[in-house]
Chains A and B, each alone.
Chain A
Amino acid sequence: MALAIEARDLRRTYRTRTGWLNPRRVAIDAVRGVDLDVRRGELFGLLGPNGAGKTTTIKMLNTLLIPTSGTARVCGFDVVSQTREVRKRIGYVFGGDRGLYDRLSGLDNLRYFAELYGVPAARQKRRIAELLELVGLAGRERDRVEGYSRGMRQRLHIARGLLHEPEVLFLDEPSIGVDPVAARELRSTVAGLAATGTTVLLTTHYMAEAEELCDRIAVIAGGEIQALGTADELKHYAQGRRVLEVQAFGVTDAQVKGIDLLPGVREASVEVLGTSQVLTVQSDAAVDVQADVLRALDGVRLGRVTARQPTLEDAYVTIVNGVDRTPATVTA
């Protein structure tokens, strides 16, 4: 089996010092022994909450960070000792507004990075035109980047990451802050890349995105891989459960804690959506908790109440909530 990415017991500790008079050293274990095999041509997802170690893992694999210990190889090359070989073969796209020369045009940004990535001069013009077409920026390439919307910047990031036709593409939360239409186009672009044989390692917060795109998904939390498999395999983590969703207005933390303690309830969490809240209660499949939950919400204005089967997101919540997240060590 040809592997595009292989990591063995990859660890990364950040060390910082705080205070002048009484300095304290803080060691944060961001990644604590990650083992990963990604096959060539695979679209692999890395899911996890904020601070789980996703970006740190990606940055160790793409040579921006040196691991504290462990080894990793990309396309067969070591990420610490053979950085130039690795860099020739990878592209990196991250989410957000930064990372571009704002006062230059999109075309100038692409020309510069094509030169940096060693795209032959004779091919640059055609390659840039192809990518502008692919990401939907053709016709806007001579505008300054500072006038681009967030979605356009994100698409320019993607075009830049693909300039040298990388064998492995790292996408670190590429759809963050992008509107739904642009996010859909982005997913279609990523799926197209995978179809042409590019290996993609994608980190995202969006379950639907991961479920739609990824061949396999790893859930990382507390700096360790907690679960790994296809989306259907991961859903088994929530097997034997049912989910109750209640639209509400004004649920308090105390009420959520109370619901969490009800007989048969496994997890209870609240998400704010605009002016309303969505209370999600996972319970044992054999226990109907709806009446108890509604009783606990007495006095709260309620909207829609729905019972459904567990999704990937429910499985993800189950996996992540079972993890102890205390990675920092403080020494005097």
Chain B
Amino acid sequence: MRVVRLVALGTLLHVKQFSRSQFEIATALIIPLVQATLAVYLFRAGTEPHRMLEAAIGAGMMAVWSSVLFGSGGAIQTQRWQGTLEMLMLSPRPPALLIFPITLATAVTGTYAMVATLLWGGLVYRIPLDIAHPLAFAVAVPAAILGLGMFGLLLASTFVLVPNANAVNNALEYPVWLVSGMLVPVTVLPGWTGPIGAALPTTWAARAVRESVTGAGPVWPSLGTCLAISAVCLVAGAAVMSYVERRARANATLALA
């Protein structure tokens, strides 16, 4: 119970900390307009204009992924710059419990962009918010956010081991959009991308949310698969994080100075 309380409070406070950054707010408002525009024109140019809402949801998931990728990937570095990493690590808790609320918060703040995408889509491009299974949608979105937050812990712990993690971040953003089927259906992609997409929780998260919106398939198997893969990522991320913490103490890299 104490762990749940710690994660909940930590996530809430990190969401507060992120949401009060003017840069984050501006990004969360402007980028979705670009993404909604991209989605709209991509599908208008195609032959399926009725799939505009699906495209807007896909664009929203892209925004959540970007937030997780950049926020979680750089979570440890950001805490180091703030000088808070040492203070977090000094607490008598497993390192994963200190970083997981941060990666979860990056996924939660990503939903701002998702909401903004839908709003921009409705206001500017008149895309109606016509959801097939509202209840499933209401469950699928937070569950997908939780799953991506868990995936974020693996990103946070492994990226800190990679030199030039920023370059890796940039290189991963678009490929994951594509192989996860966030913007275009995975069926139009080359066959070899299938296994990669199937191993990523982003694919199942996007699929579950899309299924709840279109009613094209059962939501729960996709959502269950997303959470199962994410749980594996969480466990792997926790193991890597313990290794990273010990290595940082040995190499004196917890602080900037």
Contact = CB atoms under 8 A, between A and B. Distances in A.
Interface string A80-107: 0000110110101000101111111000
B92 A115 contact: no
Interface in B181-224: none
Contacts of A102: 82
Nearest to B24: A103
Contacts of B255: 64
A181 interface: no
B79 to A, nearest CB: 10
Nearest to A108: B13
Interface string B85-98: 01111111100001
B20 interface: yes
A205 interface: no
B6 interface: yes
Contacts of B90: 62-64, 87, 90, 92
Contact of A116 (B16, B82, B88, B246): B88
Contacts of A84: 92
B164 interface: no
Contacts of A116: 6, 10, 88, 91, 93, 98
Most buried by B among A62, A101, A113, A118: A101
Interface residues of B, number: 28
A101 B82 CA distance: 8
Contacts of B89: 64
B31 to A, nearest CB: 21
Contacts of A121: 5
B47 interface: no
Contacts of A148: none
Contact of B13 (A65, A87, A88, A101): A101
A98 B92 contact: no
B3 to A, nearest CB: 10
A65 B84 CA distance: 16
Nearest to A68: B250
Interface string A250-274: 0000000000000000000000000
B252 A112 contact: no
Contacts of B17: 101, 103-104
B254 interface: yes
Contacts of A111: 9, 13
A288 B127 CA distance: 93
A25 B184 CA distance: 50
Given A14-B252, A103-B20, A112 B87 contact: no
A108 B11 CA distance: 12
Given A64-B90, A92-B87, A115 B249 contact: no
B128 interface: no
Contacts of B175: none
Contacts of A87: 90-92
B83 interface: yes
A66 interface: yes
A92 B87 CA distance: 8
B249 A112 contact: no
A91 to B, nearest CB: 9
Nearest to B246: A66
A103 B21 contact: yes
A237 interface: no
Contacts of A108: 13, 16
Interface in B1-57: 2, 5-6, 9-10, 13, 16-17, 20-21
A249 interface: no
B13 A99 contact: no
Contacts of B84: 98-101
A309 B246 CA distance: 50
Nearest to B85: A99
Interface of A: 14, 62-66, 84-85, 87-88, 90, 92, 96, 98-104, 108, 111-113, 115-118, 121, 144, 160
Interface of B: 2, 5-6, 9-10, 13, 16-17, 20-21, 82-84, 86-93, 98, 246, 249-250, 252, 254-255
Given A64-B89, A101-B82, 9 more contacts: A62-B90, A87-B91, A96-B83, A103-B21, A104-B17, A113-B91, A116-B6, A116-B88, A121-B5
State the 3 A-B residue pairs at the shortest beta-carbon distance, nearest first: A98-B83, A116-B91, A99-B83
